[in-house]
Structure 1
């Protein structure tokens, strides 16, 4: 199958491209290499994807460009069977500083993908959305009927992209699915996330920094489970037109997560605290009943197990992945 992965040199997109290429598919990766974090990690994702294609019998092609380039998007979508739209400007805090940029990438880029797909004969557009669309919880866990009142431009942009996907399905009959990811983590994740910050600081003998009281909770989802959910949509069309939560089965307090990382690396370290950004969510927790029913999604790794695996992976890949080592 011909598969286009936008944002395919990033964390989630990179894992998707690797998995599809390894399974023998023909994969095209579109990425603009936005320097939001060390681009060496993105280059590494590309190398892994190419190696996966060689071992699995698929093809891997990198196209450097942006989803904001409508002509380029139209050309690539016209050659593909299914689009996994992962490209976006990430970062809740970044979005507060640069809302126009977030709208350009996350909304206008999405519209370019949808317009191109509407004019082409493709199987489906799978849109990467976010738990940030929910905002402040009225109840937990979130189900898909929960109010969507985002508290950041990032969350608003993701909700807008979702709504456009729904409208293109209803008005034009374009098969679309939006997956609301809940804090994805795992190998090759962005280095500016809480887990990577905790691990890196502890490995360098520095106290992990918790923003706020640490009582806020997160539903962390292992990257392998995200890949599984997306892979099911290669053939399963039962979710067309739908939006679904893709999370784990539990959540954890941030202070507990920091302590678990600290205890695994250097129990002598103290936990440090700093002020919390007002756009950061207080709590997240996914109700995954809909995804379980429609596509048979079942998460495999709890954060308490997954963080230990991530620490092991981090140690093994320390020389090329750790941000302080890369800067030196």
Structure 2
């Protein structure tokens, strides 16, 4: 008669393509029951946005199907996002599993658009997501979400984020009339505002907090990197050398600060002709891929140029919500899965390091 050890041995042949480890050693098999050939367990994946979730489930079903003596099989598939940062070292934000800074070397590459749509895509996958608009000088997220009249309340000395499309949103734009008022502050004050947004906000339980950073390598990116443990940085660029050469400077800064680079994503990669479906590389080709290969960092994806993205941003209607079947929305969802996968990889490395330290 088949036994539990035999089942676990067979399941250990199923490898997570991202983590390069078997699902048994990773603790993905939960609540296993085996009675007279009737097998039941839960497969707990590392994130609902993993690009290989379907493949892992199929591999599990195939492995179980090859075990002699299994009469019935009941599989429950869930996901629990791994902690990609040391929560023990960050009491102020101990309920946020992953903090992802979205950076760029220069302005005009669509970084806020990428941040917003990635946050929405992760939320659509089933994850709990927050979005912090950390561009104090030019907060644009409220406009892009159609939340110009929204505001944040204070309860028990904690800011309460606004809600939009299933994500929690914090922005300096909620405190100023964006059309008329400019944020005229020096670096220390800006850093103080960011710290308050991070630690004095009731983020509740989040799987991912996306932080939309201002362009460049100034006070705010430094403050984020030095104030709290973060999972890593996603760098946004466009294809042309002018943008990619400056994006490298942002990568260099975070490398010096020992902050992991989640990867590089290319915005405005190409234009798809609506009549002939041909791709036109308006701004050149392959800037992000060249960065990825040269500096050995993950390539997250390419987002095509689309007038719908611009129009949606201006009207407060993100393309992933208003046109979910467009090439741009599909590219964003694919990029979001890759971001989630890289967070899981970093989380697995962190777990190994913490176990090694404990053993030592």
Query: Fold conserved (TM > 0.5)?
Result: no
The TM-score normalised by the length of structure 2 is 0.36
Higher normalized contact order (CA 8 Å, seq sep 6+, divided by chain length) = 2
> Hey, which of these two has a bigger chunk of strand by percent?
2
